[in-house]
Amino acid sequence: MLASLRTSVLFGVEASPVQVEVDVSFGMPLFIMVGLPDASVRESRDRVRSAIRNSGFEFPAHRITVNLAPADVRKAGAAFDLPIALGILAAQGIVTRRDVSDIVVLGELSLDGSIQPARGVLPIAVAARREGLGGILLPRSNAGEAGIVDTLNVLAVSSLVEAVNALNDPSSVSVVRTVPASLADSDGSDLCEVRGQLLARRALEIVSAGGHNLLFVGPPGTGKTMLARRMAGILPPLTFAEALEVTSIHSVAGLLPANSGLVVRRPFRAPHHTTSHAGLVGGGSVPRPGEVSLAHHGVLFLDEVPEFSRHVLEALRQPLEEHLVRIARAAQTATFPARFVLVGAMNPCPCGFAGDASGRCVCAPNDVLRYRSRLSGPLADRIDLHVHVGAVPVRLFGHRGPRESSETVRERVSHARSRQCERYASIDSTLSNGRVSGRWLESRTAIEADAREALAAAAERLGLSARSYHRMLRVARTIADLDADDVVRAVHVTEALRFRPVSARDGERSLLGQISVM
């Protein structure tokens, strides 16, 4: 007898439909699986056999052939266990429907018949709704994320017996629906806890408002990491569409807790400096998202930037420009979104005290240059703001005067982002100043004549590249948005140039590049 069920396979963050066809025929007992299954899928034979027997059903002593169609797409993962087991039971007549084409089925089986959670449930549920299917049958612990997708019946089960009952009588299983939580959630850290560091706080506000990249340079213990970790709290709240994208990526990576729903916080990822190339940008035989994708719509914080491997850092160039990662394999290419704000932190020298007034630095000049050169010129050119974070005066340690909270700064940032949404509505309302084309911004934004002259003079005097020129214009545009000004003025350009990134020809100059204009 032949039975057919529908499931899905993930490649990147996209789900592709797979038809599971099971034929049980007379012959010598044999379990054959075809359709390009990988090792994890082939191993399902033993899990399925034990799960069926331990659930009280009879495993057929006949020839069993399982076909996973389309046959030219490699199938990976243990989520094929449940559809294969239900297909065998349907071919025997235990599941009364032999053609289950209106429900997507997925789940990993334990030997006792219980069902384990699966990865990538949310993009599979979104794909099922897009294809017009009626529902999805899945592990109970994954019901929260699938329930986010409206108009899709989510049948949550915890065992093979419950799955059989759900297919025979769908009304016996309650349909799960998730109510999204508030998208303005916070982890409790606040910018008002930071003492001093006014320039660094201003830089955080600018990069949050415009989606720019930032590098903190300063000796140990000056608060670089503390500042970076409070940036997620001043970014605008996630929109529902953004939260859906973030949740999908974390679902594919298998990072969602059991019974979780929508991710409501902007991601803050801080990988260790020993992270590999694949760990940072993604990869693997079955492509998985890396840290740059897990930071999508959030912050990627690289502490001690020079300690990262050079080829790992250079892999950031393409995601910083294109805001996505493409991982090519022989059969197809996986694409992961990577629209994040890069925040880096580094010491000025190996010992950390170069330029300190106390003269504690013990590094030779060549050691300092070698250390700073670990951040290459092309990568540094993609970082919009460079900020020196100096030691906080002792008198401020116990200061309890009023300081701006993250909520206050976030309000200004949100207003600036709203102005950008209106400005770029004709091309992409999700764009920010840090990601719009420099040519588009230069031709379609109002720039005061004095501002143009200041920017041109700085470009000539400092040898700015075309990329640096446009990045400074973008930063100036963001500062104008924070001031609720439709025109980029000379004062905005002057402030933007205080944070000028390092250019390739600045080898022996300070990393800070602080200058005066006009």
Whichever domain contains 253, its CATH number is 3.40.50.300
Question: Which two structure tokens, joined as six digits, stand for 403?
Answer: 């300081």
Residues 261 and 331 in one domain: yes
Residues 225 and 79 in one domain: no
Residues 21 and 127 in one domain: yes
Query: What's phi and psi for 301, nearest 5 deg?
Result: -105, 120
Kindly report, residue by residue over 276-313, the tens digit of the pLDDT.
Answer: 999 999 988 788 999 999 999 999 999 999 999 999 99
In 317-463, which ranges are continuous DSSP H helix?
A: 317-322, 365-372, 377-380, 406-423, 438-444, 449-462
**What is the percent of the chain where pLDDT is above 90?**
54
Distance from C-alpha of 5 to C-alpha of 100, rounded to nearest angstrom: 5
Residues 224 and 267 in one domain: yes
**pLDDT classification of 510: cutoffs 50, 70, 90:** very low
Residue 55 has pLDDT above 50, yes or no: yes
Instruction: Report yes or no on 478 lying in a domain.
Output: yes
Number of Cβ within a 10 Å radius of residue 240: 10
**pLDDT classification of 34: cutoffs 50, 70, 90:** very high
Distance from C-alpha of 342 to C-alpha of 291, rounded to nearest angstrom: 11
Residue 504, pLDDT score: 35
Residues 69 and 127 in one domain: yes
Instruction: Report yes or no on 508 lying in a domain.
Output: no
Residue 518 has pLDDT above 70, yes or no: no
Residues 219 and 88 in one domain: no
What is the average pLDDT across 68-97? 92
Kindly report, residue by residue over 364-391, the tens digit of the pLDDT.
Answer: 989 988 998 899 988 988 899 999 998 8
Residue 186, pLDDT score: 56
Spacing of C-alpha 289 from chain mean position: 8
For residue 116, what are the β-bridge partners?
Answer: 108
What is the average pLDDT across 405-431? 89
Of 41-55, 320-334, 353-367, highest mean pLDDT: 41-55
Q: Which domain holds residue 77?
A: 2-172
Q: Is 163 in contact with 137 (CB distance < 8 Å)? A: yes
Indicate the average pLDDT of the chain: 87
Residue 355, pLDDT score: 74
**Total domains in the fold of the chain:** 2
- Cα–Cα distance list, 283 to 40, 120, 279, 280, 442 (Å): 18, 16, 7, 9, 37
Kindly report, residue by residue over 468-509, the tens digit of the pLDDT.
Answer: 888 899 999 999 999 999 999 999 999 999 898 544 334 334
Q: Which of 32-41, 176-185, 300-309 has the lowest mean pLDDT?
A: 176-185
Residue 145, pLDDT score: 87
Instruction: Report yes or no on 513 lying in a domain.
Output: no
The domain that holds 12 is classified in CATH as 3.30.230.10
Residues 166 and 199 in one domain: no
**pLDDT classification of 397: cutoffs 50, 70, 90:** low
**pLDDT classification of 437: cutoffs 50, 70, 90:** confident
**pLDDT classification of 4: cutoffs 50, 70, 90:** very high
